[in-house]
A and B are shown apart, each in its own frame.
Chain A
Amino acid sequence: MIQVSELHFVTEDGIKVLEDVHLHVEQGELVYIVGPASSGKSLFLGLLGAHVPPQRGQILVHGRNVVRLSPPKRLELRRRIGFLPQGFVPMARTVHEALLFKLRTLGNYREQAEEKAILALETTGLIRQQGISAAELSNLDRIRLGLALAICDTPWLLLIDEPFEGLDASEAAEVCAVIERVHTGHLTVVVATRGPLPNTARSHRGVTLLDGRVNEQ
């Protein structure tokens, strides 16, 4: 569950990016945040993901107040949040090795990591490409790999930034289908996109982020 209240964010130049943002996301809900470029979507996800320290307001993620978390606790929370950043650049490894790297880095034993990697590859439909170098992947498979990396260590929350960037309509629909598959596992998912949303995504809750404020669509 995510609860955002009275969230404000001002850049060093004094530009108000987020202004009195309120948002409630239920456990297991899939929410699309739609907004134009530079509207603060990535910043908002960064705040939710405990990557950007908040300035004013409250952010509750799974009962933890991000504002009040100590740096070690913030890192601990970050470990429980899957994050696919905008313009994701994969590691120079094969798909399978990339997943194993992340899982072993987070303290999983080899066998455990192998199991989780296979599960993530199956969920994202990358199982056949597991031996391919990540650098050789198509844009669509690159996003799939980013999603696989984000979900492989069973996160509480999945944050996805601009997953449709550089994809055509059919590829965007494919990504939507992968997000659906991930979500059916009752994972809370927040997707930020410039839009327009693929048709398959329209059945889910959508909010707009415009002029620093969030509004229900």
Chain B
Amino acid sequence: MSKILGLTGDGAIAHAVKQSNVDVVAAYPITPQTLIVEEFSEFVHNGEVDTEFVCVESEHSAMSACVGASLTGARVFTATASQGLALMHEILYIASSLRCPIVMGVVNRALSAPINIHCDHSDMMGSRDCGWIQIYCENAQEAYDWVIQAFKIAEDPNVLLPVTVNIDGFILSHSLEGVEILDDEDASKFVATRKPTIRIDPDNPITVGALCLTDYYFETKRQHFEAMNEAPKVTEKVNKEFEALTGRKYGFIDTYGLEDAEAAILCLGSTAGTAKAVAKELRSHGKKVGVIKPWVYRPFPMEEIMEALENLEALAVLDRACSLGAPYGALCSDIVSLLYQKGRRMNVFNIIYGLGGRDMTPSDLKAIFNEALDVAKTGLVKEPLKFVGVRE
């Protein structure tokens, strides 16, 4: 039997970790991820889990400790945000390249300077190409559900890649919601324990992190790329098992109103929730709009997004990070590349919004939907990229 608890986004992640038979947590607190580490250390202190909690002096050390622990075959979790993720950057590549299936909660927060503690996605987008599977959540329930699923996806022998589960700083991390959580026993049975195929073991010595020059480095990277290609098959399987257990259906993307939509907004994270509410209102007035929210951002769900775009005339892609000097934000660049690759000519425009925690309001979203409908009607994109919510 499941029960509903009032939990913050961070609390939901801490509870998911508590129920996931995690062997080692090495983490350093940073706003707005702090509640995850605080709550989890309480579980450790109270003896509610037998996890080894490693207090480290920085995020660089946190991720390094996670890599070491993961190589012994342990199930490992950590969490960070913003500057912490940036400090981990070097080790993020090592974790994924050594194929350590670590799960990490990333509570998205703007990068300095100027220093800011509020939400945007520039932290994760800054480490976009680090070879980790990247999942974005709309609410605390999704954060709980994805963390539990993430261990199974990461540790599958055909994948063996680390996973970040992203939630929007403060918007989700510190907001209290009703979250349906599994019984400890059911959750524990679902995630089971890690079954490592290769691990460091004094009785069977192996070498990890050996020098790999022009002769083998490229092959190792090609192999890593292939693991990303394997991840969707495993994700699909895990989503199905999770649905059978909880009744909650996950996939690579979440959609709203696409059955007859002419124009849609595509965005990551909590903004999708507001966008759905606005779309609902507009649809009640006969405006055919929809929402597309990729849950899985890496590997990029190309087929599912192409299918979702099939009947659309216009698309507004919302980026909560700025790729300075690029033609579009990161998410919109991916969408435009995908459309070009598939030979689909579609009217797309990019909105940069919400930097440093600036609110994306329902009225902003309404204006974007109306602009998208206008583009659908005229076939004309006036501004390929624009900023919404910034003072001129």
Query: Does chain A bind chain B?
Result: no
Q: Please list the residues of chain B having a beta carbon within 8 angstroms of any beta carbon in chain A.
A: none
